[in-house]
Amino acid sequence: MADTETKSSKMQDFERVLEGSEKGIASFDSNKKSGVERIQQILHSNPAFVPMIVLILSLLIFGFILGSKLFSPFALTLILQQVAIVGILGAAQTMIILTAGIDLSVGAVMVMSSTVMGQVAFRYGMPPELAVLAGFAVGGFCGFINGVLVARVKLPPFIVTLGMWQIVLATNFLYSANETIRSQEIAAEAPILQFFGEKIIIGGAVFTYGVIMMLALVFILAYVLNYTAWGRHVYALGDDPDAAELSGVQVQKTLISVYVIGGLICALAGWALIGRLGSVSPTAGQNANIESITAVVIGGISLFGGRGSILGMLFGALIVGVFSLGLRLIGTDPQWTYLLIGLLIIIAVAIDQWIRKVAS
Amino acid sequence: MKSIVKTTLVALAMSAASVTYASAADIGACLITKTDTNPFFVKMKEGATAKAKELGITLKSYAGKIDGDSQSQVAAIETCIADGAKGILITASDTKGIVPAVTMAREAGLLVIALDTPLEPIDAADATFATDNFLAGELIGKWAAATLGDKAKDAKIALLDLAVSQPSVGVLRDQGFLQGFGIDLGDPNKWGDETDARIVGHDVTAGNEEGGRKAMENLLTQDPEINVVYTINEPAAAGAYEALKALGRENDALIVSVDGGCPGVANVKDGVIGATSQQYPLLMASKGIEAIAAWAKDGTKPANTPGKNFFDTGVNLVTDKPAAGVESIDVKEGTDRCWG
């Protein structure tokens, strides 16, 4: 400090312009903050905070109205089962949105993977284990194409995945002839396809393997994104790809890897979908892309990339689940669910913008 | 702008029509379905194609990209008019919204027949070739009541419908079922206004496995003792079965459905579904093509089934557990006649 003062006292001519400007040196936060700013700061550093509060509030409100109907182990774990598929897809969506991208093809890739798993096992009579691998190969391949088009050809992710969505869905229908493979046949000949439908029952609580896998996936990804170099690179390139490149992140490779992993997670969701439905149905999951984006947005993950927590996505998916089941148990028209979810989406984005101010 | 397009199209249609009159032998027809991937519509196309080939009619098929895609259907109607077709067979996605386009086609001299799904109002089309959906529902309702016998009066019923917008096909099947089961309907033009205590609730399924499972779970949370399940179609029924199985109650509940698709009939055989009402898309389409051929020949319009405001292509109850007083065919015959 003393140094700066001596310099400013012997000001030279060209330094006149500095007169009246900020004299202090660069510094971080002052301690004098208003309450609102402090809240902004807390929300900025804990992006999963808002959705968590909303989740707890909605549970309390619906719990107050419905009592033990909602607060039974059965109903609470049912919500988990109902959001499992969206939660898994949401994990893929989160990673991609963190890179400032978006993936409209997640639902289609999921259905395509499940169709391939079914058809390889039944149409070609291959061992079911191989069928599962084939499903993963298809998911990973779709992700790879998306990734290459976004990272190397530099096409906007929205456009690339919009195209991929249509292509994959059409392929899915053409390839499968829209034929459903029934639950009984799968149970008899390829039970491994229904693996994620298996369940553990503790008291009244029912945990399917699909639910457990979704939770595990989210926690693993939360660790990977926060504590590994790769994870930090994903955040960095979403926030500012040029800065990330300059600081040594292999932007293209990382981006492609994000889309490939996203595709593999979609295939995992396809496998879990067979577990939930019992059957392989080419018409399933048609709105899953929108539902996964909804979970991500309500979960407080910024659509502009680089900020948000995957745990937030899980809370976002659960909020939708609580709303849907809660409103149905009260007996309201399902349209109200969409209306309220729509409101939540807009509020979530508004909060995101408001928090963003703290960073600027 | 719209009217300019309309006039141009009508003019185009006129000129195209005069060209076809000149060549006389070449009769064109269009088939417009909701999607070209649903096995029901695949079968419809198959029936229309075979009959068109037999009668020497040039058939062009169009479909929406997804169920509910009405815009593609409007575009298809416009294309058919411009193409100088003699008639259109259409399964409308939006039964009210499609009416202006259909009117335009009729004004241009085309015969328009609604297949499977009646337009609103039903006389917006020249004719409707369809299953009697109310009767289809009534058959499974009667069967369920007869099978339960005395227990029918304490039944706990779940109704898994198509969509909140209450499209005609969903309402007719649902209300038919309730009537067959012996429940007071309230307003027969909508579901959800019944006051009978035996109804646990209604939920919507979008007509697929995923929706069927979720809707059944929701209703089971309201009352885990549900023992009668009406489903809009067999995929929804398969989803409902999975939800019941998760609770170990799959043997305690009677599931009934409508459609008669091959996987559905196989599910009747396996006891997943107790009974289903089978409809015949292939027949609807082939009869439709015959009607267009007759119209092109001498301007005859198809007649309705006596006592009904549409041409009834028939419905059969498929079950291996026939109930007294309800006519049915067995699974073997159902399998021979199934679609998809």
Nearest CA in chain A to B192: A333
How far apart are the CA of B254 and the nearest CA of chain A, in angstroms? 18
- Choose among B164, B241, B272: nearest Cβ to A334: B164
Smallest Cβ–Cβ distance between B37 and the set A78, A173, A335 belongs to A173
pLDDT of A228 over the 80 cut:
yes
Q: What is the ipTM of this complex?
A: 0.76
Contact residues, chain A, for B209 at CB < 8 Å: 180, 277-279, 281, 283-284
Please give the model's pTM, rounded to 2 decimal places: 0.82
Which of A78, A278, A334 lies nearest to residue B221, judging by beta carbons? A78
pLDDT tens digits along A229-265? 999 999 999 999 999 999 999 999 999 999 999 999 9
B68 touches chain A (CB under 8 A): no
Asked if residue A190 has pLDDT above 90, the reply is yes
A92 interface with B at CB cutoff 8 Å: no
Q: What pLDDT score was predicted for residue A162?
A: 96
Instruction: Tell me the mean pLDDT in the region A183-207.
Output: 93
Task: Report the pLDDT value the prediction gives residue B24, as an integer from 0 to 100.
Answer: 42
Distance from CA of A166 to the nearest CA of B (A): 10
Q: Which chain B residues have a beta carbon less than 8 Å from that of A272?
A: none
What pLDDT, on the 0 to 100 scale, is given for residue B292? 95
3-state secondary structure chain B: CHHHHHHHHHHHHHHHHHHHHHHCCCEEEEEEECCCCCHHHHHHHHHHHHHHHHHCEEEEEEECCCCCCHHHHHHHHHHHHHHCCCEEEECCCCCCCCHHHHHHHHHCCCEEEEECCCCCCHHHCCEEEECCHHHHHHHHHHHHHHHHHHHHHHCCEEEEECCCCCCHHHHHHHHHHHHHHCCCCCCCCCCCCCCCCCEEEEEECCCCHHHHHHHHHHHHHHCCCCCEEEECCHHHHHHHHHHHHHCCCCCCCEEEEEECEHHHHHHHHCCCCCEEEECCHHHHHHHHHHHHHHHHHHCCCCCCCCCCCCEECCCEEECCCCCCCCCCECHHHHHHCCEC
pLDDT score of B227 = 95
What's the mean pLDDT in A143-157?
A: 97
Q: Which amino acid is at B100?
A: P
Please tell me the distance in Å from A327's CA to the nearest CA on chain B.
10
* Contact between B162 and B169 (Cβ < 8 Å): yes
Cα separation, A146 vs A138, whole angstroms: 12
Q: Do A178 and B39 touch (CB under 8 A)?
A: yes
**Residue B12 has what pLDDT?**
52
pLDDT at B21: 45
Per residue in A109-141, pLDDT (tens digit) is: 999 999 999 999 999 999 999 999 999 999 999
Q: Does A329 touch chain B (CB under 8 A)?
A: yes
Q: How far is B223 from chain A (nearest CA, A)?
A: 10
Distance, in Å, from the CA atom of A238 to the CA atom of A97, rounded to the nearest integer, reads 8
Please compute the mean of the pLDDT values over residues B293-299 and round it to a whole number.
93
Q: Where are the alpha helices (DSSP H) in A99-228?
A: 106-122, 128-151, 157-176, 183-189, 209-227
Chain B CB contacts of A183 under 8 Å are 238, 241-242, 272
- Residue with the two structure tokens 């399902």: A334
Phi, psi torsion values for B94, nearest 5 degrees: -120, 100
Is residue A149 scored above 50 in pLDDT?
yes
Average pLDDT over residues A306-333: 91
Q: What is the mean pLDDT of residues B96-121?
A: 93
A42 — pLDDT class (breaks 50, 70, 90): confident
Determine the residue of chain B that is closest to A327 in CA distance. Answer: B218
Backbone angles phi, psi at B207, to 5 degrees: 70, 25
Residues B48-94: tens digit of each pLDDT:
999 999 999 999 999 887 777 888 899 999 999 999 999 999 999 88
* pLDDT classification of A2: cutoffs 50, 70, 90: very low
Say whether pLDDT at A299 is over 60: yes
pLDDT, residue A26, reads: 64
Apex A349 CA angle, A343 and A355, nearest 5: 135
Cα(B252)–Cα(B334) distance, rounded to whole angstroms? 25
Cross-strand pairs, B276 = B257, B318
pLDDT at A334 over 60: yes
pLDDT for the residue A351: 87
Cα of B210 to nearest chain A Cα, Å: 6
Put simply, whether B34 touches A (Cβ < 8 Å) is no
Considering only CB atoms, which chain B residues are within 8 Å of A276? 210, 213, 242
pLDDT of residue B129: 95
Mean pLDDT calculated for residue range A193-205: 92
pLDDT tens for each residue of B203-262: 999 888 999 999 999 999 989 999 999 999 999 999 999 999 999 999 999 999 999 999
Q: What residues 117-176 of chain B have any CB closer than 8 A to a CB of chain A?
A: 164
